[in-house]
Amino acid sequence: MMPAQPGSANISADLLRQQRLVKALCAPKFFPRKPKLEETHISWVLLTGQDAYKIKKSVDLGFLDFSTLELRRFYCTEELRLNRRLAPELYLGVVAIGGTPEKPLLGAEPAIEYAVHMRRFHRTAMMDRVLENGGLTPAHIDKLAAVIASFHAALPPAAADSPYCALPAIQKAALHNFEAVPQLLSAPDDLAMLAAVHDASAREFTARLPQFHQRAAAGCVRECHGDLHLGNIVLLDEIPTPFDCIEFSASLRWIDVISEISFTVMDLLQRDKPQLAWHLLNAYLEISGDYQGCGVLRFYLVYRAMVRAKIAAIRGGQRGIARAKQDLVSCRSYLGLAHDCLHRRPALIITHGLPGCGKSTFAQIALERLGAIRIRSDVERKRLFGLTALADSESRIDAGIYSADATRQTYARLHELARGVISAGFPVIVDAAFLRHDERESFRALAKEMAVPFVIASVHTDEAILVKRLEQRNRLGADASEADVSVLQKLQVVQEPLSGEELSAAVTFINNGDATALRSADEAWKSLDIRLA
């Protein structure tokens, strides 16, 4: 049952009492500084000095219920528990409010109300504002990926038979998003697009049933944040810090970790920042190793876009004509994004070149341009042998993790992961040396089998520059590759040049400069685009 809005004749006595309480808390001299009051449909937030106090409204909206004092105390405690996992420095405690609504006493018992006590931060530090002001950098995105991946890795998984893993519930939630949209989108073209996305989403869900089952069994459903868009992430000392987890609904936060990262990726896509979106996704996948999650990625990108489309549609039905027009534009934007996510074209790109030539730099630029998934041999080789990306393997040339057998295992793993990404409907870039003909042939055959475009991105660099880059890279120790000049010299001797047939699938990038110069190699990029088309 929807509660009456403040100001209506049927407003509940409890909500009226809360309004008197908030008015008293905002009165001069209650706090050292008169609070600034912010109100949403479910809470009041009082901002005063370095502190913020959040009071939950006495409402029952169906999907959340704060209608009793005991429920509000419970959900304040839940909000504290959940958010301290990610932002302990922001969430200070739950404060009882005693006295009377007209003369409240902060921290007194018996409580007439409860508030979540938070450390206040500047809105300009929120990542959506930072993005709007042009200050969001790839370095921020890398840090955010590390924060989210680390958070997910530490969460206990839901049991495979948990109700949160039940596929009918996942499907119902996804399809429910389409029901509210027609009240705002009524033009024939809009409705046709809505029907097409609805049907394609349903087909995608059915096609991915094996992956949903596998991920439930593998423990990929966890108690996540639940609402991880840019407006719920703040930069604290330049570290992205998520806050405002969903506390009111366990089913909205016990989700597949890929559903969580999909929200942030979708948010960046909708804000017309595709380079940052694909940068974030790839950084997260590289840290987590969860490339199997690509199998359900399209479904969850569409799900997250349609959630926002639904919200825009509902909001548009509640506001005046001028604001409703803005909501219509927003709703169409999310619907269009959902359509695009369902109609991506897979392809297979492999890199080719000696250590230090810039294969990973090329792959980073390409994944952001193409919306692709990158798989790095240096990272996956170490993961295969239980090492982190920057760990020192202490292996010599042709020994340890660089033995011939270890290399065969590594390329087999890259092949397996590439197959999965292509099957999921995404372009994939396999970032490896591919100096042997049989290694390249295996992936050419994979592309042929799966009927997708195949391109060899062959990166060439002058030898003196190769040596300089390797020396600098090893001195910094900030890259997964452990190749040094001695490795370069060995590989120069044993490398097998591209055959005539391979050259017909190859695009050559000359990389004697920095990343900006490589990014500006227009003719090579045009040639790559043509081959992919």
Query: Could you tell me the strand order of the sheet in which 91-99 lies?
Result: 36-39, 43-48, 51-56, 113-119, 91-99, 104-106
Q: Are residues 261 and 378 in the same domain?
A: no
Q: Are residues 282 and 167 in the same domain?
A: yes
What the block records as the tokens of 169 is: 């519930």
60, β-bridge pairs: 65
What's the whole-number mean pLDDT along residues 491-508? 97
Q: Are residues 178 and 301 in the same domain?
A: yes
Query: For the chain, what is the domain count?
Result: 3
Q: Are 427 and 397 in contact (CB under 8 A)?
A: no
Residue 449 lies in a domain: yes
Q: Are residues 494 and 375 in the same domain?
A: yes
Quote the pTM value. 0.94
Q: Are residues 324 and 372 in the same domain?
A: no
Q: Are residues 219 and 338 in the same domain?
A: yes
Q: State how far the Cα of 368 lies from the Cα of 383, in Å rounded to an integer.
A: 24
Q: Are residues 98 and 163 in the same domain?
A: no
Q: Where are the alpha helices (DSSP H) in 84-208?
A: 127-132, 138-154, 167-176, 188-207
- pLDDT digit string (tens) for 336-351? 999 999 999 999 999 9
CATH classification at residue 32: 3.30.200
Residue 451 Rama label (left phi>0; alpha psi -120 to 50; beta): left
Q: Are residues 326 and 418 in the same domain?
A: no
What's the whole-number mean pLDDT along residues 137-152? 98
pLDDT computed for residue 1 by the predictor: 29
Looking at every residue in the chain, the average pLDDT score rounds to 94
What's the whole-number mean pLDDT along residues 81-92? 98
Q: Which amino acid is at 14?
A: D
pLDDT at 319 over 70: no
DSSP 3-state of 156: coil
Angle subtended at Cα 113 by Cα 110 and Cα 117, rounded to the nearest 5 degrees: 110
CATH classification at residue 294: 3.90.1200.10
Residue 497 lies in a domain: yes
What's the whole-number mean pLDDT along residues 382-405? 94
Q: State how far the Cα of 229 lies from the Cα of 242, in Å rounded to an integer.
A: 9
Residue 232 lies in a domain: yes
Residue 95 lies in a domain: yes
Residue 215 lies in a domain: yes
Q: Which of 301, 324, 342 is the last residue of a domain?
A: 342
Q: State how far the Cα of 127 lies from the Cα of 137, in Å rounded to an integer.
A: 10
Q: Which of 120, 145, 177 is the last residue of a domain?
A: 120
Q: Are residues 352 and 473 in the same domain?
A: yes
Write the CB contacts of 109 (distance below 8 Å, at least 6 apart in sequence): 96, 98
Q: Are residues 323 and 401 in the same domain?
A: no
Residue 2 lies in a domain: no
pLDDT computed for residue 482 by the predictor: 94
pLDDT at 10 over 80: no
pLDDT at 7 over 50: no
Q: Which of 102, 120, 138 is the last residue of a domain?
A: 120
DSSP 3-state of 188: helix
pLDDT computed for residue 487 by the predictor: 96
- Domain span at residue 51 reads 13-120
- pLDDT digit string (tens) for 162-199? 999 999 989 988 988 898 788 788 889 999 999 999 99
What's the whole-number mean pLDDT along residues 209-216? 96
Q: Are residues 138 and 272 in the same domain?
A: yes
Q: State how far the Cα of 313 lies from the Cα of 185, in Å rounded to an integer.
A: 8
Cis geometry, peptide bond prior to residue 110 (ω within 30 degrees of 0): yes
Q: Are 115 and 76 in contact (CB under 8 A)?
A: yes
What the block records as the tokens of 317 is: 């039905």
Q: Are residues 234 and 383 in the same domain?
A: no
Residue 323 lies in a domain: yes
Q: Are 300 and 171 in contact (CB under 8 A)?
A: no
> Minimum mean pLDDT among 173-187, 278-292, 449-463, 487-501: which range?
173-187
Residue 251 lies in a domain: yes
> Minimum mean pLDDT among 54-58, 308-312, 462-466: which range?
308-312
